[in-house]
Amino acid sequence: MISEIIDIEFFHPSAFYIIGGLLIPFLRGRVRQGYMLLVSFLAFFAVIKMPYGVHGVHEFLSWELTFGNVDKLSKVFAYIFTIMGVIGVVYSFHVKNNGEHLSAFYYVGGSLGVTLAGDFLTLFIFWEIMAFSSVFLIWYRNIPSSVDSGFRYLLWHVVGGLILFSGIMLHYSESGDLSIQYLPFHGWWPTDISSLGYFLIMIGFIVNAAVPPFGAWLPDSYPAATVTGAVFMSAFTTKTAVYALIRVCAGSEILIVLGVIMAIYGVVYAVLENDARRLLAYHIISQVGYMVAGTGLGTQMAINGVVAHAFCHILYKSLLFMGTGSVLYVTGTAKLSELGGLYRTMPRTMVYTIIGGLAISAFPLFSGFVSKSMTVAAFGEEHIMWAFLGLMLASAGTFLHTGLKVPYFIWFGKDKGIKAQEPPWNMELAMIIGSVFCIGLGIFYNYLYALLPYPVHFKPYTAYHTWETLQLLLFTQLGFFLLIKKLWCEDTISIDTDWFPRKGARTLMWFVNKPLAMLEYNFVGEIYEFIIQKPIMRAAEFFRWVDTVIVDGFFSGVAELILRWSRQLQSVQSGQIQQYAMIMVGGVIVLILITVILP
Amino acid sequence: MRLIDIIERLRTRMVKKIAYCILVLLILVDFIIPRHEIHFFGDSIPGFWSLFGFISCVIIIVVSKWIGHHWLIKDDGYYDQ
């Protein structure tokens, strides 16, 4: 009925978020809540209505920009991104800061733009919009460590973006084609120019997928973000990168190795972690490891598994971030060493978080079971046993931390007598929606399988497979309770690969401040003064005479004018990099709008 | 019944005993579970995944803690020094 009234072939779902978001700063209270919910629902319906095919092609200079490349793969990602958009909006209803809503909207819009992009240039533009809008979700936390962390986040993504861009340019100079194609990278290192292009594109993607050693930005920044910001961030950046990897790099064997390493690496760090949200961040790395490995395998079953897993992962991981975020919101801390005994005051939040924990651990009847097992089974089918066993090991670790350690130390453990209550109604509602999805997808998995890019022959609930998983998980639980004394948390941090840039930058700054400054001041400065400054001063003396006597009269009027202009321009130069970044993002968006609107 | 009461009920020794019984049952039933696809030797051994799960858990905890204490763990203010 509705489709008969409104008959628009293709309406880009990003447009709802990016153009619709502009109204948010002018609205307040319930009106704003209703408006945000409406926009996020409209974007979801736009995705439902998207017909398969290529839409939104615009000429820009000598290039063809394609904004709407819709096939089964991009559509399923667009579905989950818009569903997550609705959940995230509900969870952040209570937030008063308009800027936070706006950056979340641009972030979601950016990821939808990447998903539907048909050429590398469009992909790159939305890729950068994602980075520059999401960093505000960190900065709006407004504590000193989050400001620092936001800058580091931005630096990682700018570097990753530049690597991606150089790869795209190399590929373009070789092939003269910018459309997004399947460009797998084979081998361990690039051997010629075109494979260097593929290699750089892959590296650009895996920086955003948080593949070690380029993944340290994720556990650094997500726990530094605002309560609601982290919920958005847990869903979009890495999964958009997984989408891009599937589309461009599926079947690159190196990804299998990186993915399995990544799955175990995240688990190892999670053992050491004290901050619950950082622990979950390491588990994003671990879970995305399954997806990266499956993408590297590249068989139809593996790709189906990866897509299904990305879909379920977004839902359960955001649920987990919502649960721990609620604890942070109510108690003011997410450190396990400071929490304990909250089951008396926040029992419902506990139930939601445990549902998320069971889903991520792939417990039968929960969403992770129907998706993770498909990816892992794909390795079994291909008889790559080291990867299969490595991923099974990581599964045990996942349950150990997210299913057991996090709930145990927050809600049980030592009762610290913290005053707490359940979070506001909207946060709880969002967690209920997330929980319903986590259980619903585990039971009615056929609806999910129907959305996957290839036909599915995999059956999750065979007797042996269910039994295999139950044994693995319940005996992990036995291990947890036997070794629980070893797992008590201390208030420490663990160094990651960002040690190199962070400590390296310190050495560089020392070098600049001490030897280099000394050299410049004592040696270069002296020479400069003797050879250049003194003769110039003499020449200047002469010109000053010319100037004051002849030129001044004419130009004092002009100077007055320029002074007035520059005073006005000065107000733009606030010296705040955050504001510059916002202006740049605004400029890019205006440019995009111009290309789209102009014929 | 309130949610808290249910949680308190679940924290008794009785539940713990039931949990141990379930673990034993898991291994026993594994002897008669039909196996369709055997990918490697572990799939044909009853109780293999129980052992794998338990050993994985122990290895992950012990090895990670060892690496952590010898190398990775630093004070909270490490980067500010």
The verdict on B22 touching A (C-beta cutoff 8 Å) is yes
pLDDT at A547 over 80: no
DSSP A50: P
Residues of A in contact with B17 (CB under 8 A): none
- Residues in chain B predicted with pLDDT less than 50, given as ranges, are none
pLDDT at A248 over 90: yes
Average pLDDT over residues A281-310: 96
Task: Kindly report the pTM of this predicted structure.
Answer: 0.89
Give the pLDDT of residue A318.
97
Residues 353-382 of chain A with CB under 8 A from chain B are: 380-381
Give the pLDDT of residue A268.
92
Identify whether the C-beta of residue A584 lies closer than 8 Å to the C-beta of residue A132. Answer: yes
Residues A191, A173: Cα–Cα separation, whole Å: 17
User: What tokens appear for A291 in the block?
Assistant: 């997806």
Give the pLDDT of residue B1.
65
Helix (H) or strand (E) holding A492: strand A492-494
The verdict on B18 touching A (C-beta cutoff 8 Å) is no
Q: Indicate which of B64, B69, B75, B78 best probes the interface with A, i.e. most A CBs within 10 Å of its own CB.
A: B64
Give the pLDDT of residue A417.
86
Average pLDDT over residues A258-279: 94
CA-based nearest residue in chain B for residue A506: B79
Give the pLDDT of residue A555.
67
Residue A180, φ and ψ in degrees, nearest 5 = -70, 120
Top pLDDT among A8 and A325 is at A325
User: What tokens appear for B21 in the block?
Assistant: 């019984």
- The alpha-carbon gap from B16 to the nearest alpha carbon of chain A, in Å, equals 11
Question: A69-78, A454-463, A566-575: which has the minimum mean pLDDT?
Answer: A566-575
Residue keyed to tokens 């453990």:
A413
pLDDT at A153 over 70: yes
pLDDT tens across A366-424, in order? 999 999 999 999 999 999 999 999 999 999 999 999 999 999 999 998 888 889 999 99
Give me the DSSP letters along A270-318.
Answer: HHH--BHHHHHHHHHHHHHHHHHHHHHH--HHHHHHHHHHHHHHHHHHH
* Other beta carbons within 10 Å of A168: 21
Give the pLDDT of residue A561.
81
User: What tokens appear for A567 in the block?
Assistant: 């005073």
Shortest CA distance to A223 belongs to which of A155, A153, A285, A276? A276
Helix (H) or strand (E) holding A57: strand A53-60
Residues of A in contact with B65 (CB under 8 A): 271-272, 486
Range of the domain at B56: 3-80
Are A385 and B7 inside 8 Å of each other by CB?
no
Residues of B in contact with A480 (CB under 8 A): 57
pLDDT at A435 over 60: yes
Kindly report the CA angle at A548 between A546 and A549, in degrees rounded to 5?
65
pLDDT tens across A339-372, in order? 999 999 999 999 999 999 999 999 999 999 999 9
Nearest by CB to B57, from A380, A470, A480: name it. Answer: A480
Give the pLDDT of residue A416.
86
Residues A93, A104: Cα–Cα separation, whole Å: 12
Residues A448, A474: Cα–Cα separation, whole Å: 27
> Coil, helix or strand for A380?
helix
- Cis peptide bond prior to A213, omega within 30° of 0: yes
Residue A56, φ and ψ in degrees, nearest 5 = 55, 50
Nearest by CB to B73, from A272, A351, A470: name it. Answer: A272
Domain count, chain B: 1
Which neighbouring-strand residues pair with A70? A53
The verdict on B52 touching A (C-beta cutoff 8 Å) is yes
Identify whether the C-beta of residue A241 lies closer than 8 Å to the C-beta of residue A205. Answer: yes
Distances (CA, A) of A540 to A85, A532, A555: 63, 12, 18
Tell whether the torsion through CA atoms of A518, A520, A525 and A527 is positive or negative: positive
The verdict on A495 touching B (C-beta cutoff 8 Å) is yes
Q: Chains A and B: how many Cβ contacts under 8 Å?
A: 142
Q: Which residues, 6+ apart, have CB-to-CB distance to A192 below 8 Å?
A: none
Are B61 and A475 inside 8 Å of each other by CB?
no
Give the pLDDT of residue A26.
93
Residues A76, A71: Cα–Cα separation, whole Å: 9
pLDDT tens across A160-203, in order? 999 999 999 999 998 988 999 999 999 888 888 888 999 999 99
pLDDT at A297 over 60: yes
pLDDT at A538 over 70: yes
Kindly report the CA angle at A77 between A211 and A233, in degrees rounded to 5?
50
- The alpha-carbon gap from A476 to the nearest alpha carbon of chain B, in Å, equals 5
- The interface pTM score, or ipTM, of the predicted complex is 0.93
Shortest CA distance to A393 belongs to which of B51, B69, B27? B51
Residues B29, B47: Cα–Cα separation, whole Å: 9
Identify whether the C-beta of residue A276 lies closer than 8 Å to the C-beta of residue A398. Answer: no
Give me the DSSP letters along A30-95.
Answer: HHHHHHHHHHHHHHHHHHHHPPSEEEEEEEETTEEEEEEEESHHHHHHHHHHHHHHHHHHHHTTT-
Residue A51, φ and ψ in degrees, nearest 5 = -80, 150
pLDDT tens across A311-322, in order? 999 999 999 999
pLDDT at A553 over 70: no
pLDDT tens across A99-152, in order? 999 999 999 999 999 999 999 999 999 999 999 999 999 999 999 999 999 999
B65, with CB counted inside 10 A (0-12, 13-18, 19+), is: middle
Tell whether the torsion through CA atoms of A348, A351, A352 and A353 is positive or negative: positive
How many residues are given for chain A?
Answer: 599
The verdict on A463 touching B (C-beta cutoff 8 Å) is yes
Give the pLDDT of residue A1.
44
> Coil, helix or strand for A56?
strand
H-type alpha helices, A452-533: 463-482, 499-511, 517-519, 525-528
